Amino acid sequence: MKNLMSWLFYIPGGILIGSTMLYSVFLSFQIVFSVFPAWAAYLSFIFFPMVYGIAPFYAGFALGDWTLLIISYVGWLPGAFLIYIGNKISGDK
């Protein structure tokens, strides 16, 4: 029963973290495609970590839209909290 209860927190937490990260990557590449020409935007797939780290700050400072920064760097916290609760219920160390 303890294991089932822990999975009731693990699964939504994992889905929340995964969907938040995928959505933030999608928004980051939308910004890259709007700023750079198409060939440079496709080349940015190779430099994924750099683009993913810089695009939220560019959107905030240059475009005045802080949504991507909040989603990218704070959006995973509710999912991590759910996984933490599941971890405490299951008793894993």
pLDDT confidence of residue 79: 94
pLDDT in tens, 9-62: 999 999 999 999 999 989 988 998 888 898 888 888 787 777 778 889 999 999
- pTM for the whole structure: 0.82
pLDDT confidence of residue 85: 93
- What lies within 8 Å, CB to CB, of 52 at 6+ separation is 24, 25, 28, 72
The 10 Å Cβ neighbour count of residue 14 is 14
Q: How confident is the model at residue 92 (pLDDT cuts 50, 70, 90)?
A: low
- Cα–Cα distance between 89 and 85 in angstroms, integer? 6
pLDDT confidence of residue 45: 79
Q: How confident is the model at residue 93 (pLDDT cuts 50, 70, 90)?
A: low
Under a CB-based contact definition with an 8 Å cutoff, are residues 20 and 71 in contact?
yes
Q: How far apart are the first and last CA of the chain?
A: 18
